[in-house]
Structure 1
């Protein structure tokens, strides 16, 4: 490869990295906006509906090519990689700021390591273990920061943070399933078809068991809130995953994984612009989490 082509590939990689960091880092403020009108369940379900519908041209033509084993695995990927986390993040942000949600989300790579070791015979290195310990300390700090008195006890923990950590565990399981059980399918196909698999459940839940339709027609500001969730689903889920897969092709996996460290920065910037307050202890915890993820994710 010539120097010009190398420079062009590097420029593309950095461009994709910045775009993805902005898109995924902005997801948490979009969830917050959606929750101003809709319930967590409505936000989660409509997010999946928006993402699944926009990817129908990619998913439907590929259905006939699947065998039963692939269908079963794709349903699992749809559930743990998209459906369940969409509801968990929305539920968490009813009591957790968008800034801190974005920071906790950075734990995903470490959950990939943990779940890989527990269920897929992957090996945890000393570097992985050190990163896990540092990031865990950061999480404990974030969970126990208390306004006015510095740090509280474990009885002061905001339990809603565990919804985010559970979502990260789902992502960790999802990535291991994709790595070890999908050798023959391309990442874009996995994304599109897995969303199609959970789309019917999201549609049934949204229009049968919630007040989404009523709010959309009768509540002031509902259309705008639905617009935010649509952006979240279409851009933050569907388009972003396709862009990430393209970036992996023009950059190294290590470079691609660095988006993990930029997402919390974007989330924090949006939160501060929206009037969220972070205490000194929060910044200590944030730095520990990001540093721990960096240490544990190094090659």
Structure 2
């Protein structure tokens, strides 16, 4: 979540019940920290250069999985991976990095939570998936939270541009998640993630080179960028797909509720960023809306 892509996999029985909540908490903490790392490094790298470093490192971590399944990736599959990598990775990652230059990390983390609601809306608009009254109410509540978030200020400065950038990135996740399930859902998830990251890296490379900073980049920003790529992209994707394989995509997606909470907490603890009233209200509304909009799907997939 910053960036958490949706995939489909057949769930299997979870015999180690204690491990699942631990891994969900760990994944929420890692993805929540991504907004803090972007906040630290984006001002020195710029959005394009930072995202290129992040994606390239993440792809490197996942490359062995793609190599193992390379025979499955035909030319048509690579074209699909390029399109989805653009929609689901390159553009939203850049938008979140751009937002991190202009607003506290918590703004991006909270707006990222709307991805689950956008996924439901896109599925309804493009594929006719039903939206119940309960889910509709959840969507209204969640998007009310977006309005509250965009109307807020930190240290007297408006954050609406960053909030809208993060929300638009979440909208792209909604499209990307649906396209991923529809067009690449039969492929091994980790290999698919590697392929989309590689394509996104190639597409962004010219922009990253053209905008690469002329001045030396501080060590702390380099360390944050490396953490973004290795930990928040490569390792986090591996952990996420491990959860999908063991407990199924629906239960694994509950990490959505943890990302904004950890994102705000890390920024408050380590960057001394304030938690404003508008952020707290927006977070409550958005997470409440996500919970309602996801409830029917979760209920429908409970094991009998």
- TM-score interval (norm. to shorter): 0.7 to 0.9
How far does the alpha carbon of each residue in 1:154-184 deviate from its partner, in whole angstroms, 9 at most, with x for none?
Answer: xx67122111111111111111012122242
Question: Which of these residues, 231, 253, 269, is aligned with residue 235 of structure 1?
Answer: 231
Is the 1:45–1:86 Cα contact (8 Å) retained in structure 2?
Answer: no
Does residue 79 (structure 1) correspond to residue 86 (structure 2)? The answer is yes
Larger Rg: 1
Is the 1:92–1:163 Cα contact (8 Å) retained in structure 2?
Answer: yes
Q: Would the alpha carbon gap of residues 186 and 148 (structure 1) be closer, same or farther in structure 2, given more than 3 Å must change? A: closer
Indicate the residue corresponding to 2:256 in structure 1. Answer: 260
**TM-score w.r.t. length of structure 2:** 0.85
How do 1:1-299 residues align onto structure 2 when only pairs under 5 Å count?
8-146=15-153, 158-206=160-208, 208-212=209-213, 214-215=214-215, 218-219=216-217, 221=218, 223-273=219-269, 274-299=271-296
Query: Which structure 1 residue ranges, 4+ long, deviate > 3 Å from structure 2?
Result: 60-64, 146-149, 202-205
The Cα shift of 1:229 comes to: 0.9
Q: Quick one: distance in 2 between partners of 1:64 and 1:203?
A: 26
How far does the alpha carbon of each residue in 1:62-85 deviate from its partner, in whole angstroms, 9 at most, with x for none?
Answer: 344323332221111211121111
Q: Quick one: distance in 2 between partners of 1:157 and 1:203?
A: 29
Is the 2:61–2:235 Cα contact (8 Å) retained in structure 1?
Answer: no
Q: Quick one: distance in 1 between partners of 2:53 and 2:67?
A: 20
Is the 1:60–1:193 Cα contact (8 Å) retained in structure 2?
Answer: no
How far does the alpha carbon of each residue in 1:181-222 deviate from its partner, in whole angstroms, 9 at most, with x for none?
Answer: 22420111110111122222333433x31234x54xx34x2x
For 1:55, what is the secondary structure of its paired residue? helix
Q: Quick one: distance in 2 between partners of 1:7 and 1:196?
A: 32
Is the 2:99–2:162 Cα contact (8 Å) retained in structure 1?
Answer: yes
How far does the alpha carbon of each residue in 1:82-117 deviate from its partner, in whole angstroms, 9 at most, with x for none?
Answer: 111111101111222101211111101001011111
Q: For the aligned residues, what is the CA RMSD?
A: 2.3
For 1:258, what is the secondary structure of its paired residue? helix
Q: Quick one: distance in 1 between partners of 2:154 and 2:37?
A: 26
Give the stretch that moved more between structures: 8-17 or 82-91.
8-17
Q: Would the alpha carbon gap of residues 196 and 293 (structure 1) be closer, same or farther in structure 2, given more than 3 Å must change? A: same
Q: Quick one: distance in 1 between partners of 2:195 and 2:14?
A: 34
